[in-house]
Chain A
Amino acid sequence: MSPAAALLLGYGVVAAALLWYYLRVRRRLAALLRREERHAASPVELTGVQPR
């Protein structure tokens, strides 16, 4: 493996892993906050249970 290939692979793996983890957490956080806003006014939607 040439030095250029090793560096590309090594730095590529690090960048991809860190970016993947960051985006995964950000996306889950954003989805959760969006859902919180949408459901804030409605306990029925939050729990899925219909009151009698």
Chain B
Amino acid sequence: MRLVGLAAVAALVAGLSLALWASPPDAFQGDYVRLMYVHVPSAWVAYLAVGTAAVASLLYLWRRRPAYDHVAQGAAELAVLFTGLALATGMIWGRPVWGVWWTWDARLVSTAILFLIYVGCLLVRGLAADRERGARLAAVVALVGALDVPIIHFSVLWFRTLHQTASITRREVSMAPAMLAALLVNLVAFALLFLYLVALRARLARLEAERAEAALEPLPR
């Protein structure tokens, strides 16, 4: 995993250089467009975290193997982190470009709902009477939260929104190659960082569970 961590740091440095210096300013947004190189990867990796949490939760509910729960726990925490970052960077970009920090737009509201559902997922785990019950409840909430992802993704098509539609589709890429390169490098960097952090957090969860179990075992006579 150390290699993935090092690759993530290298990709972040490369992505940052491309985003802040190599890519050109936008014709309309000027330099504010550079916020997109952290906003869009945060949002995409939030989807990745939610997907990972949902798959691991489903496997946990099915097989009841603690390893799946440890991955789900890490992915849920990272879903909160990256969704929060997508919201925060979107607001910082929105203030100068849209003129407001926040607007009740379908994309923004559905993303905020996802953030709140996953905060709830962490809360039910923490507040449950015992570890196993907490894991089960958190898995159900993680699966419910995942249903929001397609709503977020298609909200710009289903509703009349202020948020722009996708710039990268199967048919066309409506951005300059230098901008696309900065975006893709940052996306790879954020995805590698997610992989590293989720593995680290799952290891911590495994050790904590082992320690809790060891503390409950009766002493040898």
Contacts and interface: CB of A to CB of B under 8 A. Distances in A.
B38 A29 contact: no
A25 B22 CA distance: 33
Interface in B28-45: 30-32, 34-35, 38-39, 42
B92 A13 contact: yes
Contacts of A10: 35, 38-39, 88-89, 92-93
Interface in A5-51: 6-7, 9-11, 13-14, 17-18, 21-22, 25-26, 28-29, 32-33, 35-36, 43-44, 46-47, 49, 51
Given A6-B32, A33-B207, A49-B219, A14 B96 contact: no
B68 to A, nearest CB: 19
A6 B93 contact: yes
A36 to B, nearest CB: 7
Nearest to B88: A13
Contact of A46 (B16, B20, B95, B214): B214
A26 B85 contact: no
B207 A43 contact: no
B211 interface: yes
A7 B95 contact: no
Interface of B: 16, 20, 30-32, 34-35, 38-39, 42, 77-78, 81, 84-85, 88-89, 92-93, 95-96, 193, 197, 200-201, 203-204, 207-208, 211, 214-215, 217, 219-220
